[in-house]
Amino acid sequence: MNKDIKQIILTSEEITRITMDIAGKINKDYIGKNLVLVGLLKGSICFMAELMKYIEVPCKIDFLAVSSYEDGTVSTGRVNVLKDMSMPAENMDILIVEDIIDSGNTLSFIVDLLKAKKCSSVEIATLLDKPSKRQKQVSVKYIGKEIEDLFVVGFGLDYAQYYRNLPYIGVLKESVYSEQK
């Protein structure tokens, strides 16, 4: 375990099990549809890569890069689109793949952005959900695990761009980010 991690909340094995379960539901729900997995960069990379391994229905992938954290621990509330989808979204069944949902501000913005592109449908799959932090309600179809209000890193989740490479998800010691302020 990394010295900056206080506690592991999801092991690599648990992440795989959760991801396989979500993929099984997606496989049933998207038969005969025009599925496009849209990963939100950079945090969703690990979850999306793991999820794709178990999706059996035909699908395409694309990415959006948005920012609302600016290297901090709390969302600023302002969403900046850094990279839009590279393929047309019209008439596609979009499944947004996210690492974690807390405030809901970013996802609310993205859902509206994609709906304006005349998609057939827009749904959300997330590995982690923090409903206690929700400021804007978003409909999430696939949730891996609900967690408390903890600052977690690993498996794509970061603090100031670090810790994404951890194969598990853990609670970052407060001393790591409080000394950076």
Residue numbers annotated as active site? 102
Report the alpha-carbon distance of residue 10 to residue 50 in Å, rounded. Answer: 14
Token representation of residue 78: 């302002």
φ and ψ at residue 173, rounded to 5 degrees? -60, 135
φ and ψ at residue 3, rounded to 5 degrees? -65, -20
The contacts of residue 94 (CB under 8 Å, 6+ apart) are: 36, 38, 114, 119, 121, 122, 123
Q: Which of 124, 28, 135 is nearest to 74 (CA)?
A: 135
Q: Which helix (H) or strand (E) holds 9?
A: strand 5-10
Report the alpha-carbon distance of residue 96 to residue 119 in Å, rounded. Answer: 12
C-alpha dihedral (53, 10, 154, 123), degrees to nearest 10: 50
